[in-house]
Structure 1
């Protein structure tokens, strides 16, 4: 006698297999969750410390006065006096352009003026006795005034052919030679007043209240032998640069041996020292809007938004977001996950 098999038996077998596979998968997931190892991190315990409130800015040395010497008119250079690297006094003639045509025009106008003045004087005597009408005398007087104006104009053009030192200073390198044809675009040389030096530097707009006229700053000349000099702020640009959002400041240097154009570091005292929590900069996690720190609470990682302040090469000030005694992750930050357990490998104080 043959045994009869139900047509549903294969389907039931498949269902049983799927159920067993599902249970096995869940056991693996539960086992994997139990085996989820905590992230190993290094931490510091946040404690406030006294920090230096000195701002560091980049600047440049500039001469007290600086001018590029250009002629006012075009012409041939007939005289050139540019003692390169030497000091010349204010008013010294530096260059002269050919003015023969202007001198001839001036002499001609002077001769015509002399004749017009004699005519005006004769007509004035005749007018007094009604010998001529008023219109004839007015015409002669107008001719005299017109020639005087021509002479003044020609003399001004002649004055423009002479280039003089605008102030006492050191001459730069000569750019032209005698006999050259020059125009107002031609650079003859430069002159700088280096007996007094200034430094121009910029500060972020957030520190605009830290600097004012009369403030004293320290300037470090970045040379082979770094030296520091004192400088007194003489002016602050009232308009903040719209591109860089920086404030431009100018200070007057005292007893500083440097050349104009030298790069310098400027140190500005931002007020008395204060106590703040300083955290290594590599512990900060930036995102689109905020900056975050990983803080350990009850053995788990918690991400907190923080506000930063003064920053130096290694540390950054935390103005808000964490409190004294908080445990902040500074090593292994990338392995920490929100709400996940962590294992502390090394502990230090932030003020050490």
Structure 2
């Protein structure tokens, strides 16, 4: 009965044939089942065709119109304030503290005795060596007189002289060991908090206190190697602390002799004018990089990073066009675009993740750079 049917793409979708099949199927159960599957196939075919003929989905986006902006080329870096001189006070030898002169937070001068360790055994050895030295010197003096009249041979005198020199060396060693039991301030500085009590047993690993020379403060910071030309000895930079919005100034005094190969950053040191900041404080360092310049600036979130490039979406003829761009300075309001777009281009700033290349887009609103900065 199917020899006259027109079969196309595996389906039979002629309405006259469907009607004929239906009347025949009323007398044949097998044909009735075939008719049901046949009708469902035709309906599915029509639905797919309707979907294929539907218009593509339009993505709603917000945009900004690219324009120029006055940029101040300021490089911002993170820095840490350090004291001009700083150290932890440790004893050189182990022993019991017999004297402790570390008032919390006090200022001390260079050479001030901060602590003394028990040296009674060393002092006893020194006294013994002094007695031995006195006897050895008298012996050497008598033998020298005898040698002058050939009363003894040269070897006996040399042995006596050598004994004197050995005892003198022992005395110097003992004095050096006794000197190590006295802890002095190596420079004028402010003491930190005392970490031990009088009479405590200490070792070279024990921290007794800290010393910070805070009359002259420095700031250490790092910058990417691309900005190395901005940091020269004698250049002035501005610094801002987290608890004080007022800027202070610092003078660059030195840079590290090499760039860190892991981070590609250069370490820089500057001396702060003023000493109202505590060592260890976190600061922002602002480096002036040149004059003002007119540049195209777009919001940071409009940039689409790629493995090898950066892209922006530009609306042209109602479609989203992906363009490669070169970025430059970053400011609080956005990113400088050095190439890739022109003044007047419409740049997508919201919904960038949903726009497909050359797909239709609908502009909901035109934003300004200031509005987007406030929203962030």
TM-score (norm 1): 0.89
Asked if 1 retains the 8 angstrom alpha-carbon contact of 2:215 and 2:275, the reply is no
Unaligned runs of 5+ residues in structure 1 are 1-5
Alpha-carbon distance, 1:290 to partner = 2.2
Q: Is the 8 A contact 2:67 2:343 kept in 1?
A: yes
The answer to whether 1:8 aligns with 2:27 is no
Separation (CA, whole Å) in 1 of partners of 2:207 and 2:66: 62
Q: Where do residues 24-173 of structure 1 align in structure 2 (5 Å cutoff)?
A: 24=46, 27-32=49-54, 35-173=55-193
Structure 1 residues 145-154 or 120-129, which shifts more? 120-129
- Aligned residue in 2 for 1:3: none
Runs of 4+ in 1 over 4 A off after TM superposition: 9-15, 18-23, 348-352
3-state SS of paired residue (2:12): helix
Deviations, residues 16-49 of structure 1 (Å, cap 9, x unaligned)? 33897797467425521xx224333332232232
Per-residue displacement from partner, 1:290-341 (whole Å, max 9, x unpaired)?
2211123343222122222222344111222223333322233233211223
Q: C-alpha separation between the residues in 2 aligned to 1:349 and 1:172?
A: 53
User: Bigger shift: 193-202 or 64-73?
Assistant: 193-202
Q: Alignment partner for residue 312 of structure 1, among 304, 328, 331?
A: 331
Q: Is the 8 A contact 2:87 2:211 kept in 1?
A: yes
Shift in Å, 1:351: 9.3
How many positions carry a matched residue from both structures?
Answer: 344
Partner of 1:195 in structure 2?
A: 215
Contact 2:63 2:349 in 1 (8 A): yes
The 8 Å contact of residues 70 and 295 in structure 2, kept in 1 or not, is answered as yes
Q: Report the Cα offset of residue 183 of structure 1.
A: 0.8
Partners of 1:293 and 1:138 in 2: how far apart?
93
Structure 2 spans left out of the alignment, 5+ residues: 14-37, 372-376
- Structure 1 CA distance for aligned equivalents of residues 250 and 224 of structure 2: 19
Cα distance in structure 2, aligned partners of 1:84 and 1:103: 31
- Please, what is the CA RMSD of the aligned residues? 2.6
What is the CA distance between 1:86 and its match in structure 2?
A: 1.4
Partners of 2:331 and 2:310 in 1: how far apart? 17
For the residues of structure 1 that align with 2:53 and 2:46, how far apart are their CA atoms? 10
**SS state of the match for residue 85, structure 1?**
coil
Question: How many angstroms apart in 1 are the aligned matches of 2:189 and 2:268?
Answer: 24
Shift of 1:161: 0.6
2:285 counterpart residue number = 266
Q: Measured at CA, do residues 7 and 50 of structure 1 come closer, stay the same or move farther in structure 2, by a change above 3 Å? A: closer
Task: Supply the distance in 2 between the matched residues of 1:7 and 1:190 (Cα, whole angstroms).
Answer: 103
Distance 1:16 1:78, change over 3 A: same
Query: Deviation of residue 12 (structure 1)?
Result: 5.2
In structure 1, what is the equivalent of residue 274 of structure 2?
255
In the TM superposition, what is the alpha-carbon distance from 1:270 to its structure 2 partner? 1.5
Once residues 296 and 204 of structure 2 are traced to their aligned partners in structure 1, the CA distance between those partners, rounded to angstroms, is: 60
For structure 1, which segment, 241-250 or 47-56, has the greater mean C-alpha deviation from structure 2 after superposition?
241-250
Quote the offset at 1:131 in angstroms.
Answer: 2.2
Tell me, what secondary structure is at the counterpart of 1:179?
coil
* CA–CA separation in structure 1 for the residues paired with 2:58 and 2:104: 74
Taking CA–CA contacts closer than 8 Å with sequence separation of 6 or more, which of the two structures ends up with the larger relative contact order?
1
Find the aligned partners of 1:206 and 1:102 in 2 and give their Cα distance: 60
Give how far 1:206 is off: 2.4
- Is the 1:51–1:275 Cα contact (8 Å) retained in structure 2? yes
CA distance in 2, matches of 1:54, 1:234: 20
